[in-house]
Copies of this chain bind each other. A is one copy, B any other.
Amino acid sequence: MGLSGGMDSVTLLGIFLEQGYEVHCCNFYYGAKHNQYEKVAFAQVIEYYQSKNLPVIPHSIDLSAAFSDFKSNLLLSGEAIPEGHYEEESMRLTVVPGRNLIFTSIMAGLAESIEADYVALGVHSGDHHIYPDCRDEFIKALNYAVYLGSDQKVKIIAPLINDTKTSILEKGFALLTPIPYHLTRTCYKNQGVSCGKCGSCRERLEAFENIGKTDPIKYE
């Protein structure tokens, strides 16, 4: 699965582990402003589950060469991350063309190599508005392409695709092994402490508010 180190993918990992799966977790470095902080979250989440003897296998994959000629304000080469809510037009500037397609393709090839049956993505309903590669119809089309391209060996799943960040938190807090939300990282900005103002931070804070809990990470 793709494990960015954010609350959505970490919740999905917790769900799979509670279901008894062995999970290969892929973290991608692609020259995004928040990659270095994501990487820390990824490593700490892996360590958390490994310390509980749960079967998580990390794969850190450097794709900076592949993304070096891409244009997006999410990347170090782009302009500042816009502040405000995801619904706003400005958040479109954070789209990285083909990002989920590329990550999923690499995970599909890896899955075939290690004989895993599924590639899971942590995309959710809130992503669909601005990110075309987070939509259900795209995931279905990609699943079919991967299925054919892998000689019917690998399937793509996105179990949270109809969830909101709020229902993801509800699922996470219902698990027996606590999700380490204190170790997760959601902010898109190039700074150690989360900003609390970008679309990504605001959605996360609203979700915690919706379920009546306090977000355990620090904000600026």
A interface, CB within 8 angstroms of B: 59, 61-63, 65-67, 69-72, 96-102, 104-106, 108-114, 132-133, 135, 137-138, 141-142, 144-146, 148-151
Q: How far, in angstroms, from A65 to B61 measured CA to CA in the complex?
A: 6
Q: How far, in angstroms, from A197 to B66 measured CA to CA in the complex?
A: 33
A72 CB, min distance to chain B CBs, angstroms? 8
Instruction: Tell which of B66, B69, B132, B150 touches A98, judged by Cβ atoms closer than 8 Å.
Output: B150
The 7 lowest CB-CB distance pairs between A and B, nearest first, are A98-B109, A97-B112, A141-B145, A133-B149, A105-B105, A62-B65, A142-B145
Q: How far, in angstroms, from A71 to B112 measured CA to CA in the complex?
A: 9
Asked if A113 contacts B149 (CB within 8 A), the reply is no
Majority SS at the chain A contact face: helix
Q: How far, in angstroms, from A91 to B92 measured CA to CA in the complex?
A: 45
Known contacts A105-B98, A105-B105, A109-B99; is-contact A138 B142 (Cβ 8 Å): no
